[in-house]
């Protein structure tokens, strides 16, 4: 920390205020035994909330004219499906890749949005 009477540098300020709820302190720059409980809690909560919202969209989906929410979810799904179709040309393999790509895309988007 900075000496008495000196303001901390920006690096010291970040190190002091950027703390996580951990099971133990980190020993080195790469310590896989440390578990950040706050990150696990918020990522799980965000994942469950997203699953609920997408389940709600699937439950309220209609074959007629879609509402705004259903249209937004359909745009998301069709965008990821078209990306998967451009990469994986085999229709049988795409049945696995497209849902996986949608899951990864939504998860990364929400983790970046949460930060």
Quick: pLDDT tens for 20-53.
Answer: 777 787 777 887 777 888 888 988 999 899 999 9
For residue 79, give the nearest of 63, 92, 98 by alpha carbon: 98
Token match 């920006």: residue?
A: 10
Q: Is the pTM of this model over 0.85?
A: no
Residue 93 located in a structural domain: yes
Cα 87 from Cα 79, distance rounded (Å):
13
Is 17 among the domain residues? no
Residue 73 placed within a domain: yes
In sequence order, what DSSP letters do the residues of 10-55 get, joined into one string? HHHHHHHH----BSS---SSS-TT--BHHHHHHHHHHHHHHHHHHH
Token code pair at residue 23: 């099971």
Give the span between the Cα atoms of 69 and 21, in whole angstroms.
36
Residues 6+ apart with CB under 8 A from 24: 33, 34
| CA 63 centroid distance within chain | 30
* Count of domains forming the chain: 1
Helix (H, G, I), strand (E, B) or coil at 65: coil
Answer whether residue 77 is part of any domain.
yes
Q: Note the pLDDT tens digit of each residue in 56-98.
A: 988 988 888 888 999 999 999 999 999 999 999 898 888 899 9
- Report if residue 101 sits inside a domain: yes
* Structural domain boundaries enclosing 101: 37-114
């Amino acid at each position: 920390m900075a000496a008495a009477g000196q303001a901390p540098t920006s690096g010291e300020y970040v190190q002091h205020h950027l703390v996580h709820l951990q099971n133990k302190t980190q020993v080195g720059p790469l310590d896989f035994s440390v578990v950040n409980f706050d990150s696990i809690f918020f990522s799980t909560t965000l994942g469950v909330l997203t699953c609920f919202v997408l389940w709600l969209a699937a439950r309220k989906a209609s074959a007629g004219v879609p509402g705004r929410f259903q249209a937004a979810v359909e745009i998301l799904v069709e965008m990821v499906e078209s990306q998967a179709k451009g990469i994986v040309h085999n229709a049988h393999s795409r049945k696995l890749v497209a849902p996986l790509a949608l899951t990864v895309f939504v998860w990364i988007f929400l983790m970046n949005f949460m930060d």
